[in-house]
Amino acid sequence: MNERNEDGNMKNRYLCILLMLTLIMSIVLTSCKEENKIDVNIKKPVTLTFYTFLEDGKEAEAYKEIINEFEKEHNNINIKLVADANGYNQKIKTALESGKAPDIIGLQRKDMLQYAKQGYLKDLTSFVDSNNIKDKYYGVSLGYGKFENKYYGIGDLPKTVEWFYNVDMFEKAGLSEPKNLDDLINVCNKLKNKTKTPIVLGAKDAWTINTLLGLITVQNVSTDELIKAYTNDDKAAFQNLKGMNESIDIIDQLLKSGAISRRCDDYNYADSVDAFVNGKAAILPGGTWTIDKIEKMKPNGFKYKAFEYPVKFKEGGNSDYCATAIHVVTVNAKTKREKQVMEFMEFLFSDKAQEIFAEKNGISGLKSVNKESENEVENQVIKHLDSTNENSIVYMDNVSNKMSEVTQERIQKMISSRKVEPSEVWDLIVEQSFVK
């Protein structure tokens, strides 16, 4: 009997152990299944591609820092920044046409216009409206992303085009800042006693011609007129732009009066800045980018300012102020990560991100983050930016690369030669620009 009881107890013990082991294994297996379920539900970080031609300098550094800050706050989104100016335009064109374009694309305005027309870019008008971009950002920043009353991008690096002048020369000659073309010519005539070159233009670097032209055309020709002709590839519409003839005639008047020397094509951009800071010229047309150059090259005691108000070549013109925004941020219309892309766009145009731009680059497109500078001229620039509108866009950003280049070449020839009448120059520009 005892042996049977003992055997029974042993069996019961084994059964209990087996049950316990079964229970433990069940719990373990269930836990593993739950863990596997959790693993399945964990979302991998989304990677967005952002291409830009800004590969060097303050702007590029600002973008890197902004992306780092964004990724800290959004651990489910990574931004792959590709900054490469080499062959950039062709790479983007190929990528868009093949349907393999990056999610976010930095573009020059003239390219943005074409891609918007072709349907490659996302309409950002609702984003602009919902984030109060129109109220918060400078007019030129909005203008750079506008096409056919919609916004396809935002210009995030605004810069003004200015008339810089030698303060001492003006004061010693008892001169006030000129208000119109006649004033400018009269001022230059009086400055000839102080310098042979009242207005210095580094026309050997042809792009400087577009700087001067931009100061004039913003008043004479509307952005809408230019981009309508450009995007429709309309030769006749370009030929009928009377404001371009008027603008070229103004340059001719400055040449004939001696305000600008016909020898200015002997100077490149660096030469023109050197002449200005060393008292060989009184006035230098340039942009915000010129300030750094002047500061690096100027001798001790050199004082300069920008004209408080631009020279008015036309009363009631489209815009008094000329400006640029060299980099327009756009979104691929076919992005598969629209939600995440718009999260990044909201961050990029937030106060936090734009404060980084202001710190690194000196000026942001967001009005509120631009702080008063120790440099008086930089403060003038910020003041002028606040007066820009969507027509303040520099001429060369509203036309094709070819037309921009041809314009520069033809005006170079007009400067160095008197054989071509200014009234003929614009027709020649149009004809040459439409040669296939």
Q: Judging by DSSP bridges, how do beta strands 46-52 and 104-107 pair with one another?
A: parallel
Domain edges within the chain:
46-157+326-371, 159-321+400-433
Position 40 scores a pLDDT of 44
Q: Judging by DSSP bridges, how do beta strands 328-331 and 281-287 pair with one another?
A: unpaired
| Average pLDDT for runs of 10 along the chain of length 436 | 52 57 53 46 81 89 95 96 94 96 96 95 97 95 95 94 97 96 97 90 92 95 93 94 96 94 90 95 95 95 96 91 94 97 97 93 90 91 94 94 93 84 92 91
Asked if residues 327 and 52 have their Cβ atoms less than 8 Å apart, the reply is: yes
CATH number of 46-157+326-371: 3.40.190.10
**CB atoms inside a 10 Å sphere around CB 326:** 20
What pTM was estimated for this model as a whole?
A: 0.86
Torsion sign over Cα 18, 24, 27, 29: negative
Return the DSSP state at 221: S
Domain 159-321+400-433: top CATH class: alpha beta
What is the three-state SS of 41-82? HCCCCEEEEEEECCCCHHHHHHHHHHHHHHHHHCCCEEEEEE
Per the structure block, which two tokens stand in for 69?
């800050």
Pairwise CA distance, residues 228 & 342, whole Å:
29
Position 35 scores a pLDDT of 46
Return the DSSP state at 121: B
Asked if residues 68 and 45 have their Cβ atoms less than 8 Å apart, the reply is: no
Pairwise CA distance, residues 398 & 227, whole Å:
6
Domain 46-157+326-371 matches domain 159-321+400-433 at the CATH topology level: yes
What's the number of CA atoms in the CB half-sphere (13 Å) around residue 325? 33
Asked if residues 304 and 376 have their Cβ atoms less than 8 Å apart, the reply is: no
Tokens 């190929």 correspond to 94
Helices (H) and strands (E) in the chain, counts: 20, 12
Asked if residues 226 and 321 have their Cβ atoms less than 8 Å apart, the reply is: no
